Structure 1
Amino acid sequence: MSDHDDDGSEPFLAQRDLAAEAMAADMDPWVIFDGRKTPRAEFDDWLDSNRPSRVFRHGELDHNAEPVGWIAVYGPASSPAPQRGDAEGLQEDWERLLSSGRLVTFETVKELALNRRVLSGKWLMHLDTGFKVDHAWGSIARAVLDGRVPAAKVSPYCPSSDAKHVICVPGDNFTDESQVVRLDAAIRAVGIKCPLSYKPDAYTYLGLYRGNRWKLCPTIYESRYDLECIPRRSRITSKVTMTELT
């Protein structure tokens, strides 16, 4: 699902636009290196041929002629598919919640997600096109093949948009803070120092993007790498409680 989020405020129309872009990206073809099927020896050539800054979201004659939704890497031990839980049931529960007039908060959304086992999420990093995203993506993709990171995907280049590329690293359970912290540590261990934000997949399924009418922050954790601390480490903050996890 699409994960182009930040904390800025935008009109509700923009929220619907982001949801539409999410669906379109998921439905368009993906460029995938699957370490469960493809020899590692082919990876470097694949990575060089599919740098995010040179793969065009909507196709371009001198590069990829067809649209590309995402570029993704799966490692030898990656799960066959993310555990979606009952996403359709979650959406039905959401509609009932809205009809009931109950207050919409993080806790009410979490309750729905737990009931339907829609617990997956992802750390997101937003990067400028060019060397920055290509370098970071290469580091993350290699970590996936080495088994240090479960899987990853990156958005291709979209010259008609000012949006940055986004790299997504999935986690199994957004309610498990220890897992969220461990996944952040695995990402930092490959040299990633840019800010990260964590979004539950339940938010994506329910169309909770920036500027939503309930004023929910579209991400629930923020990670900033502290270059002045010795030893250097991430400072992870809950965007829900505004408390530090690390």
Structure 2
Amino acid sequence: MADDLLTDSVRLRAGWIVYNPNHYNGNIHTWLEEYKPSQINQNCGICWLSLRSPGTQECDESGVDESENGESENSNLDGLIESFDRLQASCRPINSQTLTELAQMFNVRVGKWMFFTDTGAKVDYLWEKVATNIASGALHPAISAKVSTADDTGSHVVLIYNNDFADKDEVYITENAIRNIGIKTKMCYKADAYTYMGIYTNNPWGVRPVLYTSMFDIQQGVSNILECSDLMNHENMDTT
């Protein structure tokens, strides 16, 4: 079944279907109708559906880029991880400042807003909103998005990426663009660099993996964004 799913799309790596207009015989609406997250089960080997915003990093001739989330070709993931290992062995503090310094040193800057939603028509509807606006460039400065396929939990996660987690203005503008297309659910924001360095909930250094949370006030029509330093508690939203 997995091979059938990949006939017209592109496999980024095992477990991915990536929309690329240069390698798909149809438009984004056709692709979304064909590949609905609620109707593709992870048991078939496909765990993620993904696409990029136009004008972002070019894909290679196979139709995919080297990094599914949009890290620059100048990013040095190996250097980041090796330096983090050395940091752990040193007497230097491990906190959000030192982690951000490492991420910037090795140009691992991508971050993402993320939210969870129920399977079925709800995830298909919300993913269509995100994907069509990514494909048109209307979610600028977002650079890419992905959604998990169906599993036994009955829940999906949608992730929307931007270039630089340390650029607060860019993070806030991306959040506003997401809200403007009608996404009103609770969201949180994480840095990919934290994930690569293993910064999850209950890590031994007490570093919070969530940098921001966003709650939308339906009555007021505005978002309330809190930085992690302002939070006493947050829900566990660990994912890749």
- Give the TM-score of the pair, scaled to structure 1: 0.77
Taking a change above 3 Å as real, the CA distance of residues 114 and 78 of structure 1, as seen in their structure-2 partners, is: closer
Equivalent in 30, 34, 39 of residue 20 of structure 2: 34
Superposition CA RMSD, Å:
2.0
**Partner Cα separation in structure 1 for residue 43 and residue 97 of structure 2:** 38
**Partner Cα separation in structure 2 for residue 186 and residue 36 of structure 1:** 26
Instruction: Tell me the secondary structure at the aligned position of residue 58 of structure 1.
Output: helix
Q: Which amino acid aligns with 2:147?
A: V
Point out which structure has higher relative CO (alpha carbons under 8 A, 6+ apart).
1
Instruction: Tell me the secondary structure at the aligned position of residue 154 of structure 1.
Output: strand
Structure 2 residue runs of 5 or longer lacking an equivalent are 1-11, 59-64, 233-240
Compute the displacement of 1:37 (Å). Answer: 4.7
Equivalent in 110, 114, 124 of residue 120 of structure 1: 110
User: Which digits, 9 at most, give the CA deviation of each residue in 1:44-81, with x for residues without a partner?
Assistant: 2321221111111121xxxxxxx013101224333234
Instruction: Tell me the secondary structure at the aligned position of residue 114 of structure 1.
Output: helix
Aligned to 2:193: 202
Provide the aligned length of Structure 1 versus Structure 2.
206
Aligned to 1:46: 31
Aligned to 1:234: 223
Percent identity between the two aligned chains: 31
**Partner Cα separation in structure 1 for residue 104 and residue 231 of structure 2:** 22
Q: Which amino acid aligns with 1:83?
A: E
List structure 1 runs of 4+ shifted beyond 6 angstroms. Answer: none
**Partner Cα separation in structure 1 for residue 24 and residue 35 of structure 2:** 15
**Partner Cα separation in structure 2 for residue 224 and residue 241 of structure 1:** 14
**Partner Cα separation in structure 1 for residue 30 and residue 95 of structure 2:** 46
**Partner Cα separation in structure 2 for residue 130 and residue 30 of structure 1:** 20
User: Which digits, 9 at most, give the CA deviation of each residue in 1:193-246, with x for residues without a partner?
Assistant: 0011111010111122223222222210111111121xx121111113559xxx
**Partner Cα separation in structure 2 for residue 44 and residue 170 of structure 1:** 21
Equivalent in 169, 176, 185 of residue 185 of structure 1: 176
Aligned to 1:110: 100
**Partner Cα separation in structure 2 for residue 43 and residue 236 of structure 1:** 31
